Structure 1
Amino acid sequence: MSSEAKNFALIGAAGYVAPRHMRAIKDTGNNLLIALDPNDSVGVIDSYFPNADFFVEFERFDRGFDKLRRSGKRIDYVSICSPNYLHDAHIRFALRNGANAICEKPVVLNPWNLEALIEIESEFNSTANCILQLRLHPQIQALKAQIAAAPKDQIFDVDLSYITSRGHWYFTSWKGQDEKSGGIAANIGVHFFDMLAWVFGDVTKNDVHIHSGDVAAGYLEFERARVRWFLSINSKYLPDAAKAAGRTTHRSLTIEGKEIEFSEGFVDLHTRSYEEVFTGNGFTLKDARASIGIVSDIRKTAPKGLTGEYHPFCSLVTD
């Protein structure tokens, strides 16, 4: 927790993940002074910071931001929960105005955006911090330690599957538009790819087997792992056991055939992320390089179909 309360702005206040950031700001003893979203369904702010100013137009938000600075209430951090394709611009706004940024995943959509932001950080002496919350998950931290302790020449066989059901609304929203979300691999998979690179090292191979609007699957080789992965927002690919139990989400990570359980422990990871930022241990733009490179390459790679090392769930995809 910070020793002195910091002033925050928040961009994307009506978004799905915004309440986690509001809670993190509050739980770390800081203040949200101003928020922005073109959608005015933001009553959740009342649960955290009812006195925060709110704007639906960027121009008026920018003016309010500047008025706060001129009145002595300098904004120290801008939390960014806007659609993925706007992260780059909103981080630039924060840095140019002398504030640090805390940005949701994926921090940007392309590696070159990342490198440009690193230059801007230096120019304005501010910092952009990335939410890479799986690195703070106790089970994932234990896994990293386990892999580090294993023989250095051991290569692990890994299967990753993540299915999180979404309705028809998804394809009407920005999330269903690849140029805005980065595609399904970026939108729901980037934090898993970051975790894999963090645990198993640099990527050496990136094959894509399937890539459509509702499912993506492929094969990755890292320094210390061979990974078959499957991501989908389509409930028809849920395992029978999940369907029978009425679950709409399936998350599985197996290493050498052994399930790594990390379904629990997600509740406070955003607050933990903020705490790390305030102690100088936040995740940097450079930390995000591997995962942004992976999802960018997935987007540019032509799917090869069911050949090679494909995930078993791929056989369920018929369209």
Structure 2
Amino acid sequence: MSPKLKIGIIGAGGIARNVHIPNYLRQGNRIEIVSVCDVNEAAAKSCAEEFGIQHTFTSYEDMFRELDIDAVSVCTPNKFHFPATTTALEAGCHVLCEKPPAMTPEEAIGMAEVAKRKGKILMYGFHYRHSAEVEALKRFIAAGELGDIYAVRAHALRRRGIPGWGVFTNKELQGGGPLIDIGVHMLDTALYLMGYPEPDVVFGKTHQKLGIREGVGFFGKWDWRNFSIEDLAHSMITFKNGASLILETSFAANIEKEETMQVSLMGNQGGADVFPLKIFQERHETLIDSTPIIFQEKTSHELEVERFVDACRAGHASVPAAEQGVVIQKLIYAIYKSAEIGDTVKY
């Protein structure tokens, strides 16, 4: 590997321009973004011009053939995560793939298997796990402050947050709606704090009530006539260790707050809400609420990219992200499958 990690970007949309590229550039002389690839040539060239990137391609196969690249960010619609990621891994690149891992469990399993076979890092864009609040709570949990975590609630809720841009309302390209887009963030955060216990049984219910009609929203007008996803999903997951998790996620729901991203954990020694972090315990015959002071010098997105670069340079990741991505993808599939058949699904 060269002194600078040579980075390629696959997909020149908003997540690449607003998150991945700026945070790679914050890594200074540890990296060099050498190329951006997008099937839309104008988008690739515009992105390259904006950030001073030398090479552009409309085919990532051509990019891998022509350039020496160490790692890539996959910033495409969900449907293309699997082919882009596996092609990059086979080309000898480490990969930071945006969430969710893929469209199906089989794809996520295939991605993890290729990464293992090639000895490459495969991380996913679950940036909330890199937040200062989650890191602090993880330390409290490791010290036994919450004890046995047996019940969890996870919320990724928007009152009227249907994206009016991109392909977010296209099931064929995205695989689903709020569950697979924002719900996965809080699902990963919850599982990460729980230590990724083995799931057992899943029950899910999805609703399509508000997105299929014209309305107002915080993210502009959406194409309600071609709205093919759910706008609300409820689910419950039980685990083989006896714990349970309730996940609620929406793009549109008649609720008070504009947006709620929250994980609440209940253990036999204490509980916690994560965003913002608050810890609930009983001590000395007294119920107490603790609000830790959080020092956050870097954003969760910056830390995600920094740790990906660290892992690439070290040749190993601190957590088995590829395998955890498989768990996430299987749970998403199980929730949608349960909603489809109207019954529980074994994990």
Q: TM-score range by the shorter chain?
A: 0.7 to 0.9
Structure-1 residue corresponding to 2:62: 63
Instruction: Check whether the contact 1:157–1:226 (CA below 8 A) recurs between aligned residues.
Output: yes
User: CA–CA distance in 2 between the matches of 1:132 and 1:154?
Assistant: 22
User: CA–CA distance in 1 between the matches of 2:137 and 2:332?
Assistant: 23
Question: Which 5+ residue runs of structure 1 have no aligned equivalent?
Answer: 69-73, 243-247, 309-319
Query: For the structure 1 residues 156 and 126, does the alpha-carbon distance in structure 2 shift closer, same or farther, using more than 3 Å as the test?
Result: closer
Amino acid at match of 2:248: F
Q: TM-score, normalised by structure 2?
A: 0.71
The answer on 1:226 being equivalent to 2:244 is yes
Structure-1 residue corresponding to 2:172: 179
Alignment of 1:118-157 (within 5 A): 118-148=112-142, 149-150=144-145, 152-153=147-148, 155-157=150-152
- How many angstroms does 1:275 deviate by? 2.0
- Higher helix residue share: 1
Amino acid at match of 2:86: R
- More displaced 10-residue stretch of structure 1: 33-42 or 147-156: 147-156
Query: For the structure 1 residues 16 and 88, does the alpha-carbon distance in structure 2 shift closer, same or farther, using more than 3 Å as the test?
Result: same
- More displaced 10-residue stretch of structure 1: 120-129 or 255-264: 255-264
% identical equivalent positions: 20
Amino acid at match of 1:130: Y
- How many angstroms does 1:189 deviate by? 1.2
What CA deviation, in whole Å up to 9, does each residue of 1:194-219 have, x standing for no partner?
Answer: 11112223323321133442111122
Three-state SS of the structure 1 residue aligned to 2:190 is helix
Three-state SS of the structure 2 residue aligned to 1:251 is strand
Amino acid at match of 2:264: T
Residue of 162, 181, 185 corresponding to 2:157:
162
What CA deviation, in whole Å up to 9, does each residue of 1:133-172 have, x standing for no partner?
Answer: 22211212233333441465452353524226434736xx
User: CA–CA distance in 1 between the matches of 2:318 and 2:74?
Assistant: 15
Instruction: Check whether the contact 1:137–1:266 (CA below 8 A) recurs between aligned residues.
Output: no
Instruction: Check whether the contact 2:98–2:125 (CA below 8 A) recurs between aligned residues.
Output: yes
Structure-2 residue corresponding to 1:34: 35
User: CA–CA distance in 1 between the matches of 2:272 and 2:120?
Assistant: 43
User: CA–CA distance in 1 between the matches of 2:297 and 2:104?
Assistant: 27
Structure-2 residue corresponding to 1:287: 324
Structure-2 residue corresponding to 1:316: none
Residue of 266, 271, 274 corresponding to 1:260:
274
Three-state SS of the structure 2 residue aligned to 1:254 is strand
Corresponding pairs, count = 287
Structure-2 residue corresponding to 1:208: 204
Three-state SS of the structure 1 residue aligned to 2:306 is helix
Question: Which 5+ residue runs of structure 2 have no aligned equivalent?
Answer: 209-229, 278-293, 312-316
Structure-1 residue corresponding to 2:91: 97
Query: For the structure 1 residues 157 and 35, does the alpha-carbon distance in structure 2 shift closer, same or farther, using more than 3 Å as the test?
Result: closer
Tell me the C-alpha RMSD between the 2 structures: 3.2
Amino acid at match of 1:260: V
The answer on 1:75 being equivalent to 2:90 is no
User: CA–CA distance in 2 between the matches of 1:95 and 1:79?
Assistant: 11
Structure-2 residue corresponding to 1:312: none
Amino acid at match of 2:26: D
Amino acid at match of 1:15: G
- How many angstroms does 1:188 deviate by? 1.6
Instruction: Check whether the contact 2:156–2:186 (CA below 8 A) recurs between aligned residues.
Output: no
User: CA–CA distance in 2 between the matches of 1:260 and 1:118?
Assistant: 29
User: CA–CA distance in 1 between the matches of 2:132 and 2:242?
Assistant: 21
Amino acid at match of 1:254: S
Instruction: Check whether the contact 1:193–1:294 (CA below 8 A) recurs between aligned residues.
Output: no
- How many angstroms does 1:10 deviate by? 0.5
Residue of 336, 341, 345 corresponding to 1:299:
336
Three-state SS of the structure 2 residue aligned to 1:98 is coil
Structure-2 residue corresponding to 1:189: 183
Q: TM-score, normalised by structure 1?
A: 0.77
Three-state SS of the structure 2 residue aligned to 1:162 is strand
Amino acid at match of 1:176: T
User: CA–CA distance in 2 between the matches of 1:252 and 1:272?
Assistant: 20
Structure-1 residue corresponding to 2:300: 269
Structure-2 residue corresponding to 1:24: 23
